[in-house]
């Protein structure tokens, strides 16, 4: 429930930004930066939420995993033109976790997810405002740990490496023809999760 509320607030903020910036698009129709292609680098912070309907081996103790944490990423890319880019990112989704109490047992659990993702990014420029969509492949390392207080330590650890689809949409605006700021929603199809997504605020410098 907490994740759903946070995601609703973030989605509302994204919509509000789009509506606000859209009113200025007409004034930006003559916007023609001199760097419509080339390299860019950037980074961002976000909020990552994940839901798992039961953990293998702990179904009787932890029925649902539903948590969030702060995420961060670093990325670089190349713009072939104002409409198409290739991007590569290192993405760390933090360590979402929570305490639990079930069947007379209590403890805590955490999930650690990080990896590398190449993306294809399509952009619709509207003056300084941009709408974009991206699709990529996430190569990740996933670790899930659970502790039971009455047993005094780790009772469950699962480590896995994999690769799955990742895709997102968002809106950006460029300042001074070089600095591009974005709000973005991203969904990650991580195997074994019911839902894994993130909201991002990023900034990139276009050379």
**Mean pLDDT, range 2-31, rounded to an integer:** 49
Question: What whole-number distance in Å separates Cα of residue 192 and Cα of residue 84?
Answer: 32
In the DSSP assignment, the letter for residue 34 is S
Q: Is 3 a residue whose pLDDT tops 70? A: no
Q: Which residue has the higher pLDDT, 19 or 120?
A: 120
CA angle 159, 160, 164 (to 5 degrees): 145
pTM for the model: 0.76
3-state helix, strand, coil in the chain (%, to 5): 15, 65, 20
Q: Is 24 a residue whose pLDDT tops 70? A: no
Position 28 scores a pLDDT of 46
Q: How many domains does the chain have?
A: 1
Specify the CATH number for the domain of residue 17. Answer: 2.40.160.20
- Give the confidence band of 64 by pLDDT, cuts at 50, 70, 90: low
């Amino acid at each position: 429930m907490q994740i759903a509320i946070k995601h609703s607030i973030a989605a509302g903020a994204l919509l509000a930004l789009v509506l606000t910036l859209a009113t200025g698009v007409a004034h930006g129709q003559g916007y023609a930066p001199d760097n419509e292609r080339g390299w860019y680098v950037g980074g961002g912070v976000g909020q990552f939420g994940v839901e798992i309907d039961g953990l293998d081996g702990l179904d009787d103790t932890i029925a649902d995993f539903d948590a969030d944490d702060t995420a961060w990423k670093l990325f670089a890319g190349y713009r072939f033109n104002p409409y198409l880019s290739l991007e590569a990112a290192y993405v760390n989704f933090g360590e979402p976790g929570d305490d639990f109490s079930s069947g007379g047992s209590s403890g805590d659990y955490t999930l650690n997810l990080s990896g590398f993702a190449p993306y294809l990014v399509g952009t619709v420029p509207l003056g300084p405002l941009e709408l974009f969509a991206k699709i990529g492949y996430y190569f990740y390392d996933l670790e899930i740990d659970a502790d039971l207080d009455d047993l005094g330590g780790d009772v469950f650890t699962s480590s896995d490496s994999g690769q799955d689809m990742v895709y997102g949409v968002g809106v950006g605006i460029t300042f001074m023809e070089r600095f591009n700021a974005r709000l973005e929603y991203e969904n990650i199809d991580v195997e074994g999760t019911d839902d894994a997504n993130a909201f991002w605020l990023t900034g990139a410098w276009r050379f």
